[in-house]
A and B are shown apart, each in its own frame.
Chain A
Amino acid sequence: MPTSDTIVVFPGTPSPDLARTLDLGGYRWKAVSGADEASKVEPQAGWMGAIVACDEDAEAAWAFVRTIRKRDNAVSSVMVMISGAQLSDLELRDDLFDDFCLTPFHPRELEARLRHMFSATEGGARPELVEHSGLVLNLETYQASFNGHALDLTFMEYELLKFLAQNPGKVFSREMLLSRVWGYEYYGGARTVDVHVRRLRAKLGEEHANLIQTVRSVGYRFGQGRWSN
């Protein structure tokens, strides 16, 4: 899944200070005047996060937050900008935002908070998982499991399985796998791929060895069982 790099900002005309801080921080952003517009102009990869200024029209702002947070494909990092007098509005709304910043804000503070918020979502909080027919690869911890049992792989076995599992159903030639998984640091040609596939099959065990299928005189395909041909 491609990673998104654009922040949605509410309301449609953000304060010049906010706009400048985001620009100087190197963020891509788009201001919208409501949740409908936010959906309409949303990039294909989704929003990277949201910055919502509550200091003009608080009610509209919280309605916007609620909508983007409760919809399918919820926006995961939400920063609310709020004045000291509105602090009590935060109560019982912990599930709607990830961080807040008092207005008027100090640009360096907002930048630091944004950096922290986005790094927290990238790291530990939501590890990226690749899952397929009982196989789970945790891309953050490099750990693989099959039907709940840990699968102990060497680095290249892991890299090969990851590549295949991220592209299920596609047939790859050995040469393609070599260039994508091994890069240029290999010798021994396409048989390196065969050897690693065999080792992976051995580790997956007899019943699941067919998770990686040989496509005669073409290469390998991941995860298409006999029922789906």
Chain B
Amino acid sequence: MLDQHREYVLRTVEERGVRLVRLWFTDVLGTLKSFAITPAELENALNDGMTFDGSSIDGYSRIQESDVLAIPDPNTFELLPWVDNKNTEARVICDVRSLDGSAFEGDPRQVLKRNLDAARAAGFEFLIAPDMEYFYFEPPVRGQVPVPLDEGGFFDLTTTDVASSLRGETIRTLEAMGIPVEYSFHEDAPSQQEIDLRHTDALTMADSVMTFRMIVKEIAAMKNVHATFMPKPLEGVQGSGMHLHLSLFKGDENAFYDEKDPNNLSPIAKSFMAGLLRHAAEITAVTNQTVNSYKRLVPGFEAPIHVSWARNNRSGLIRVPIPKRGNPSATRIEYRSPDPACNPYLAFSVILAAGLKGVREGYQLAPEADANLFEMDDASLEKLGITQLPQSLNDALKVMEGSELVREALGEHIFEWFLRNKRHEWREYKTQVTPYELTRYLKSL
């Protein structure tokens, strides 16, 4: 089957006159990296991989040797629909391996594959559908507050038309690349968009999230618009989240579904949720990896703060959407803290590890918190045993540091590198004197 796969890719390159094949992979911070090869080199690359120097890639550096192998996954071969016909280009996503052929521990895609294998060994397949939020802005000026299109008066058309035509073009491109879209709409904040992707297995979805971010930015850039997945680009309005709809399947059965339960949640679903909740603080540095991420996780903007679950209460960390009747496969949970600036391979890995730990060890799920938690004081929250997510990147890193679960899920190499890199980011941030401080203190003190 693999040989046929390769042959199919090579033949397509020939038939479609592909000029350039881009090999994609992802660094530890979730940035898409790519290098291009000619079609003549592709056959070689498919068989033996392409050697490249990993030391220039964030999180790939190692002590002994810096060369690693990029091995294209022929199943991810796609023509890039936004490149004009004369210079047809294709992309293929790579697995990064060490020169001896073993999985390279610095490659986030290998990390997710390893975690998915563990789930599969327990009989589970992990399905994900993300709601992707992002903003359109005028081209940014360094140090200036970003200007939403809706307020810009930058275009001849009315600005809503521009944003929605960009969104339409984005969806057409996504679908042409085999990424089906479920819904899309203009979000609450000015120039904020939401595109919800249809569920698929976690590895394909992590690849799709990488492709999604690329497409959104490319399509916008063609119209001289800046698209951003920054979690909280504007003060005072909602930030951008990446709510994840999660389920586990066992064969063809949704392992989260139980006909007899009032909420249709199986014991597996409940202990998975309990695992996610118990380990939520530990995995937050990965699902919310920037200083800015924590400006989104504040009260008043539909982002979760409290470690709790509820059916239809959007202030909780986990929401259980009420499924349509007679559709067991739609039973799922929605994990609401991640933001779209995360590394999807790593985020999906730690979420799966946390949930599965709950399943393996039979964690008990706390009762539903259906009150509006934002209106409760600390004492009442404590009485209910409801804790909060980390308040800053620094807090999150501290919890992560002590987490065996995250260390295991990410592997030693990425765990250590991530902590080092993010502590550095925090130290850098801490030295900043912000406009807030100047406004607040300069005159009065």
Q: Is B360 part of the contact surface with A, judged by Cβ < 8 Å?
A: no
Are B74 and A155 interface neighbours, CB within 8 A?
A: yes
- Contact with A203, one of B9, B12, B178, B252 (Cβ below 8 angstroms): B178
Distance between B11 CB and nearest chain A CB, rounded to angstroms: 5
Q: Is A150 part of the contact surface with B, judged by Cβ < 8 Å?
A: yes
Contact A154:B249 (CB < 8 A) given known A142-B11, A143-B12, A187-B125: no
Contact A195:B176 (CB < 8 A) given known A143-B12, A189-B249: no
Are B4 and A152 interface neighbours, CB within 8 A?
A: no
Are B16 and A150 interface neighbours, CB within 8 A?
A: yes
Chain B residue contacts of A174, Cβ below 8 A: 252
Near B by CB (< 8 A), chain A positions 134-180 give 141-143, 150, 152, 154-158, 174
Instruction: Report Cα–Cα, A70/B175, bound state, in Å.
Output: 47
Closest-by-CB residue of A relative to B175 is A202
- Contact with A142, one of B15, B81, B178 (Cβ below 8 angstroms): B15
Contact A143:B15 (CB < 8 A) given known A158-B8, A198-B180: yes
Q: Is A113 part of the contact surface with B, judged by Cβ < 8 Å?
A: no
Contact A188:B201 (CB < 8 A) given known A141-B15, A142-B15: yes
Q: How many residues of B contact A (CB 8 A)?
A: 34
Interface string of A183-221 (1 = CB under 8 A from B): 101011111000100110111010000000000000000
Near A by CB (< 8 A), chain B positions 249-295 give 249, 251-252
Distance between B102 CB and nearest chain A CB, rounded to angstroms: 22
Chain B residue contacts of A195, Cβ below 8 A: 200-201, 204
Are B178 and A154 interface neighbours, CB within 8 A?
A: yes
Cβ contacts A to B, 23 pairs, < 8 Å: A141-B11, A142-B8, A150-B16, A152-B16, A154-B78, A155-B5, A155-B8, A155-B9, A155-B77, A174-B252, A183-B1, A185-B1, A188-B249, A189-B251, A191-B127, A198-B180, A199-B179, A202-B176, A202-B178, A202-B179, A202-B181, A203-B175, A205-B175
Which residues of chain A have a CB within 8 Å of any CB of chain B?
Answer: 141-143, 150, 152, 154-158, 174, 183, 185, 187-191, 195, 198-199, 201-203, 205
Which residues of chain B have a CB within 8 Å of any CB of chain A?
Answer: 1, 4-5, 8-9, 11-12, 15-16, 74-79, 81, 120, 125, 127, 174-176, 178-181, 198, 200-201, 204, 249, 251-252, 329
